[in-house]
Amino acid sequence: MLLFHVGEAFTNTLEHGLLYKNHFSHSDDVLENVDIHFDIVRGKVGRFIANKNKSHKNLTLQDSVLTFACWIKPENVGKKSATYLSEFDILNFRVLATRQIQFNHYNKKDIDTKPVICKDVWQHIAFTLNADGTLKIYYNGDCIKSDSIQADWHLIRKNLNIGTDKYKLNANGLIDDIYIYDRHLNAQQIEKLYTETLIDAPLQHKLQAYFPLNGNTKNKINNKIKPQDEYIFYTDDEQHGLCANFVNDSCFIDIAGFKYDQQLTFTCWIKPEATHKLMSVIGNNNLVFRFNPHRSTLVFTVPLLYSKYSKPYQKGRIDDWTHLAISVNIHHKVDFYVNGKHFDTQLIEGKSGDENTLTIGQSIWKNQFIGQMSQLAIWNRALTSREIKQVYNGKLETIQPTNAPIASWIFIGGSIFLLTLIISLIYIRYHKQRNNNLSGEPIKSMSPINSVHLTHIFRAYDAQGNDISRLFSPTLIKLFSLVVLFPLLKKRHITSSELSDILWETDNPSQQKNNRSTHIHRLRKLLERFNHVTLTYQNKEWQLKHDADFFIDIQHFDQALNDNTLQKLPASIMLNRHLRTENFDSLIHIYEQKYILSFKSTCFNLFANKQYSQVINISRLWTDIAPLSELAHKYLISSLLKTQQKQEALNTLTSFSHRYSKSLNEAPTITIDDCNHFKPNDAF
């Protein structure tokens, strides 16, 4: 049963009034017109089945207020309209073939937004409808349309349908994190819902070009985007090393092969000479990114349509190195960043052309850049604030140059057709086999009574074995996880100030204290449903005290791994999706590195002792937290070959090669032949 009724126990602002939600984390979470699909960004999601008109119809509403929100990645953008929610003869919520979001009050009124929908990216859409007919439509957490319909719209209510309507304008593509409320969410709550369900893509996802500009104009990501002409010099800088030096009006770089739909991001480091004039970073005849170092403003221009100037940013010396970034969603907004911090947003309307060349250092009005430039990157998607901060902190510098042998590309190209046919089977078998123990026996459900599971999918079972996962809000999950993870990863317990800094970093001290007290009280009330567990405050630290009757999966796994007593492997050790936020990045990194090192050592010893079945199971856990690790896949594929599972080995390599090349825009270096001759010494 997919219908979640939310009782008085829910006091969190995003849980109160929640009628239905679906994260598509389980096979039984699917709707009649949706199946489970694995997405490279969001993991398990729903995929609408073509020409399937039936949908889940148990959502009958009696209230006169409605809020709907979900993440979508539609197909046939610009070609076909698609309905995501309908109430027959009352309302339809659609994405139109014109890329607009539409709210249709049946036979009475159409309310359309600007054409904001993009191809091949995840987008969050939502609407709220009040009893008086007041309507607001949201896109990626922002209200983009306010209007109203007749106030009698709710006098006769019918079943809600997801993904279809009476005209059979069926939804297509992917969907995730559906939320339906029988109450009105305000703008702040919609933004919070968007933020808490946002999952950042790998930084390399849709990265079209990365030019370090450290002595040449080589693109480390995509050989299809490359310089046509370059007239620049290079100089050695104390801070950035060798970098591009634009010394006069004849200095620029032309690049070709640039493509984008309605989203793009530019980032770079610059060190301009002291000047009062407007300078161009990058652009073409259709769009230009410029800045004024003297006035401390950034400018995004679509010629003949508009120029959007940012407010002044806080600056140091004019000729200091500065990191600039601009994230654009055509017909919606442009976000400006300096030194990793978001400082302004401007609304925009009107689309640029589709010219596929760009000029670095000049614009169509010249606006010559004079100074030094380093690490220019281009995405054909709009990066989030968290991702821009990662770029500023140097994450792009770890990307390795494209050096894939031609044979590997031929192998990948030849495997695409096969991959399309077997991807569903691979995914099912992959997760089935991860549920085996070290000897290959199926694993049984681990502690469904009096337990909390923080890996894979968050689950909590009380002392009677009831699933009470839904009682934990995302913040309570994070709070509980921090109390558990700190002693595991940092060998000490967490303090109140650390809790506040991680969970409520933007609040003032008074708000932090209030939030902390409220959530700790709620967590303690929930812990009363379990046996033999308490949350205590001792020596200015928060500790979770429990006996052996209370089971926490990561504690059990860590202890068994340390004691070498692990008899059965869990399905996954990846921490649940609620913890994949910026404030948890450092903890997750420590967590993953801890087990990667352990898996390396374990696989090395097992492989040397020819215990290949055990290597298969351990390396699958390894690839779960390091999906792009070539070493982990070498162990896995080599062991599959050693155990005569040649087809599974080929399928695994095909799947890995596809995922690796799609994420990094280059082919992995491993081949079947490499794995056939792999030895443990190759890894150390």
Name the architecture of domain 207-398.
Sandwich (2.60)
The residues of the chain that CATH labels 2.60.120.200 are: 18-197, 207-398
- Cβ distance 376 to 258 under 8 Å? no
pLDDT at 104 over 50: yes
In the prediction, which pLDDT does 604 show?
92
Cα separations (Å) of 132 from 17, 89, 129, 148, 153? 19, 18, 8, 8, 9
What is the mean pLDDT of the segment spanning 522-534? 92
Q: What is the pLDDT of residues 257-292, one digit of tens each?
A: 888 888 999 999 999 986 668 999 999 989 999 999
In the prediction, which pLDDT does 62 show?
64
pLDDT at 448 over 50: yes
153/149 Cα distance (integer angstroms): 8
Cα separations (Å) of 40 from 36, 176, 292, 656, 663? 13, 13, 38, 12, 8
pLDDT at 1 over 80: no
- The dihedral built from the CA positions of residue 142, 158, 23 and 260, taken in this order, carries a sign that is negative
pLDDT at 331 over 90: no
In the prediction, which pLDDT does 233 show?
85
pLDDT at 521 over 50: yes
In the prediction, which pLDDT does 355 show?
80
Q: What is the pLDDT of residues 341-355, one digit of tens each?
A: 999 999 998 777 778
In the prediction, which pLDDT does 401 show?
52
If we measure between CA atoms, which residue out of 606, 633, 638, 617 comes closest to residue 571? Answer: 617
Name the architecture of domain 18-197.
Sandwich (2.60)
Q: What is the dihedral of CA 243, 247, 248, 250, to 10 degrees?
A: -40
Hey, how many other C-beta atoms are within 10 angstroms of the C-beta on 91? 24
440 — pLDDT class (breaks 50, 70, 90): very low
In the prediction, which pLDDT does 399 show?
67
78/351 Cα distance (integer angstroms): 14
List the structure tokens of 65: 């207020």
Lowest mean pLDDT across 460-469, 530-539, 559-568, 650-659? 559-568
545/527 Cα distance (integer angstroms): 11
Q: Quote the mean pLDDT of the chain.
A: 84
In the prediction, which pLDDT does 124 show?
97
3-state helix, strand, coil in the chain (%, to 5): 30, 30, 40
In the prediction, which pLDDT does 566 show?
60
CATH numeric code, 447-552: 1.10.10.10
In the prediction, which pLDDT does 319 show?
64
For 515, residues 6+ apart whose C-beta sits below 8 A from its C-beta are: 500, 503, 504, 507
Buried b (16+ CB within 10 A) or exposed e, 253-276: bbbebbebbbbbbbbbbbbbeebe
